Structure 1
Amino acid sequence: MFIVTLNYTAPLERIDAYLPAHRAWLQEHTARGLLLMAGRKEPRDGGILVAHAADRAALDAALRDDPFAQAGLATYAVTEFVPTMTAEALSAWRAQ
């Protein structure tokens, strides 16, 4: 499991111009099961993704395809973790 922190490196006007393409990218990878959650940070200086990838290389490949990455609008910090404790509603994602 991975937590990805996006930090914008461009003004919000440029971010907003790419937002429809970024959201389409999010929807595609959520439908594929790679992304479990996504949302913007407050204050609005980036976003957070919760990802379930086969490995780090698969996640990195997907992140390179994000329109924000392709346009140089964000940096990405990836933290891998093993969810050993979850709420019951998230038990399917709990490590055994």
Structure 2
Amino acid sequence: MFLVLLKFSAHRSRARDHMDAHVQWIQRGFDDGVFVLAGSLPPQQGGALLAHGVSRDELQARIDDDPFVREQVVSAEIVEIAPSKADARLSFLV
């Protein structure tokens, strides 16, 4: 499982121009079963994703395809998590 932090860069002013494509990219991740959570990093620092069921290389390729990453609106950091215990509602992650 991976936590992906998408933090705004100095080019955050370009976000509006690429928002529709970024939202479609996120939806594809959910449709493909890779993303299980998406949200914002308050206050307006960027966003975060929880990804599951992919290798780091596969996830990196997917992240590289994000319009926000391609256009340098955000920088992406991937943090790997090796879950060992979870609430029953999240047992599929373990």
Q: Same fold (TM over 0.5)?
A: yes
Q: TM-score, normalised by structure 1?
A: 0.90
Q: Secondary structure of the residue that 1:14 maps to in structure 2?
A: helix
Unaligned runs of 5+ in 1: none
Q: How do residues 9-48 of structure 1 correspond to structure 2 at under 5 angstroms?
A: 9-10=9-10, 12-48=12-48
Q: Which runs of structure 1 show a deviation greater than 2 angstroms over 4 or more consecutive aligned residues?
A: 10-13
User: Which digits, 9 at most, give the CA deviation of each residue in 1:32-86, with x for residues without a partner?
Assistant: 0111111111011111110014211000000010000111111111110111111
Which residue pairs with 1:52 in the alignment? Answer: 52
Structure 1 residue 16, shift from structure 2 partner: 2.2
**Whole-Å separation in 1 of the counterparts to 2:53 and 2:91:** 17
Q: TM-score, normalised by structure 2?
A: 0.92
**Whole-Å separation in 1 of the counterparts to 2:80 and 2:53:** 10
Q: Paired residues, what number?
A: 94
What percentage of aligned pairs have identical amino acids?
Answer: 32
Check whether the contact 1:53–1:59 (CA below 8 A) recurs between aligned residues: no
